[in-house]
Structure 1
Amino acid sequence: MVDGYRDLSHRIETGMRTFPGDPDVSVTSAATIPEDGFSVQEIRCGSHTGTHIDAPSHTEPDGGVLADRPIGQYVFTARFRDVTPCSAREPIGPDRLPDGIDDPDVDIVVLRTGWDEYWATDHRENDRYLDHPYLLPAAARRLREANCGVAVDSLNPDPTPTPAADPDEPDGFPVHHALLGSDLPIIENLTALSGLPERFVLYAFPLPIADGDGAPVRAVARVS
C-alpha cells in the first residue's frame, strides 16, 4: 500500500485463469523497438477477464450495460468483512455478512475468503481456484434488501461450476440474478484484501467497452 492506496487487482497475463468456457487470455508482442521503432502488445481476452465488474446484461435479458451507470458510480463506499478461514466450496450465509450494511452510504460489501491464494498465472497448473466458497441465495437477498452489491476475492459469488442449487434459479446463478437484476454491482477476482479496514473507498473503473456486459477494472482501495 502506497500513500493510502492499495491495488486489489490481478495482472492480465497470458494463460491466466478464466471462468470455464470464457475466452483464453493472451498478451503477445505485436511490435518491438528493435524491429519497428516502437513497442505494442496485442491483448486477446473476454469481457470478464481477471479482476472485473459485471453489468446487469451479463445475466439479465433486459439488463443494462456498463455505460448506463454514470462514471462516478464506480466509486464505492465499501464495507469489509474477513470471513477466513474458508474451506473448499463452503457456503457463506447472511449471518457472515458485516454489520452496518443497511447504512444508505454503503454501496458494496467486500468479502475476503482468502481464495486468491489459489490464483495461478497458468490456470492449467491449478484448478483449486474453481473450488471457491460462495454466497447462499439468502445472503444475496440480504444484500439486495440493503441495496448493496458484493465484491469477492474469488472467481464467482455463485458456485463454479454453477449447478442448480435453488429450484427457483435453474441456471445456478442466484446471486447474480438477485444483485444484477436490481442493478447492484458484482466485482470478482479481487486480491490482497488482508488487513483492510472495516470501511474504505473502492475505485473500480471499467474499460469503456461498447455495450459492455462486463469489463476488467483496476480495483484500488483508498484507506486512511
Structure 2
Amino acid sequence: MPTLDLTHPLATGMPVYPGTEPVRVEPAATLDADGYRTTRLDLDSHAGTHVDAPAHLTAGPALDEFPVERFRFDAAAADLRPLDAREQVDLDALQGALTADPAEVDVVAVVTGWDRHWGDERYFDHPYLSAETAGWLADRGCDLAVDTVNPDPTPTERASDDEPDGFPVHDRLFDADRLIVENLRGLDRVPDRFELHAYPLRFAGADASPVRALADTDGGDSGGDADGD
C-alpha cells in the first residue's frame, strides 16, 4: 500500500504563523570538530506540519491526554480546488466536495492546493473555512486537516474588513474536543478515502506538536511518488 509523505520538512527560515519565533535547524556538533554529529532544533510547537489540541485556545485536553490511537485517522478528502486567495469555504461547498459522511470517518482533509505557495507571502492569504462548516464537522465528531497554515483567516495587510476576527473555526472544533492538523502538503495526491497518520511528540501539556504526517492509500493511482517529493 503506497505511503505518501504529507509533511513539510523542518528547516531554518521556513514559513511560520505571523508573529511566531522563526525556526532554526543548526548543527550543534560536527564530525570534523567533535567526532560526532548532533543537531539543535529551535522551534515553536506550532511550527511546520503539526497537530493542534484544544489546549491551544481552551481549557480542553492537551495532546498527551489523548490515546495514541487518536492520531491515526480514517480520512476523507474534500477537494475544493480551485479557490481564490482569502476565499471562505462555506458548508454547501464542503458538503458538495465530500464523497463520505463525516460521521463515518475520523477526519476531513480539506484540499485547497495552497501548499503550492509554501515559501512565499501568498501562503498566508489562504482560503479558510466558515464557522458554520467547522460546527457541522464538530457536531459529527469529526476532526479537521488542512493544507494551509490556518483553517481560520490569517491576518495580513490584504485581509478584508468582512473577514471573521479571532479563531472561530478553532473555537467550534476545540469546544467539541476535536483536533486540527495544519500545514499539510500534497493532499492533491490522496484518494477520496485514506488513512492519515500524524503522531505528535510526547511532552506534558502539549498545546500542539510537529508531526510526520503520512497517508496510507488504497493502492490506487496517487499521482505522485511514494515519498511525496
What TM-score does the superposition give when structure 1 sets the normalisation length?
Answer: 0.90
Identity of aligned residues (%): 43
Whole-Å separation in 2 of the counterparts to 1:176 and 1:54 = 9
The secondary structure found in structure 2 opposite 1:141 is helix
The match for 2:93 is 96
Runs (5+) with no aligned partner, structure 2: 219-229
Residues 13 and 24 in structure 2, CA contact (< 8 A), matched pair in contact too: yes
The match for 2:71 is 74
Does the alignment pair 1:115 with 2:109?
Answer: no
With over 3 angstroms needed to count, the CA separation of the structure-2 counterparts of 1:148 and 1:23, relative to structure 1, is same
Displaced runs of 4 or more, over 3 A: 162-166
Does the alignment pair 1:221 with 2:215?
Answer: yes
Whole-Å separation in 1 of the counterparts to 2:173 and 2:11 = 29
How far has the Cα of 1:197 moved from its partner? Answer: 1.1
Residues 103 and 141 in structure 2, CA contact (< 8 A), matched pair in contact too: no
Residues 101 and 109 in structure 1, CA contact (< 8 A), matched pair in contact too: no
Alignment of 1:36-185 (within 5 A): 36-60=34-58, 62-97=59-94, 98-104=98-104, 106-120=105-119, 126-161=120-155, 165-166=163-164, 172-185=166-179
Whole-Å separation in 2 of the counterparts to 1:78 and 1:102 = 9
Whole-Å separation in 1 of the counterparts to 2:166 and 2:162 = 4
How far has the Cα of 1:47 moved from its partner? Answer: 0.3
Whole-Å separation in 1 of the counterparts to 2:24 and 2:101 = 39
Aligned-residue CA RMSD (Å): 1.5
Listed one character per residue, the Cα deviations across residues 58-84 of structure 1 (whole Å, up to 9, x for unaligned) are: 011x11110110001110000111111
What TM-score does the superposition give when structure 2 sets the normalisation length?
Answer: 0.88
The match for 1:24 is 22
Residues 201 and 221 in structure 1, CA contact (< 8 A), matched pair in contact too: yes
The match for 1:189 is 183
The secondary structure found in structure 1 opposite 2:110 is strand
Runs (5+) with no aligned partner, structure 1: 121-125
One-letter amino acid of the structure 1 residue matched with residue 134 of structure 2:
A
Whole-Å separation in 1 of the counterparts to 2:166 and 2:27 = 39
How far has the Cα of 1:99 moved from its partner? Answer: 4.0
How far has the Cα of 1:101 moved from its partner? Answer: 2.6
How far has the Cα of 1:164 moved from its partner? Answer: 8.4
The match for 1:123 is none
Whole-Å separation in 2 of the counterparts to 1:19 and 1:102 = 28
How far has the Cα of 1:14 moved from its partner? Answer: 0.1
Whole-Å separation in 1 of the counterparts to 2:199 and 2:69 = 9
Whole-Å separation in 2 of the counterparts to 1:195 and 1:74 = 21
The secondary structure found in structure 2 opposite 1:194 is helix
How far has the Cα of 1:165 moved from its partner? Answer: 4.4
Whole-Å separation in 2 of the counterparts to 1:25 and 1:164 = 32
Residues 150 and 187 in structure 1, CA contact (< 8 A), matched pair in contact too: yes
Whole-Å separation in 2 of the counterparts to 1:207 and 1:196 = 25
One-letter amino acid of the structure 2 residue matched with residue 107 of structure 1:
D
One-letter amino acid of the structure 2 residue matched with residue 151 of structure 1:
A
Residues 50 and 209 in structure 2, CA contact (< 8 A), matched pair in contact too: yes
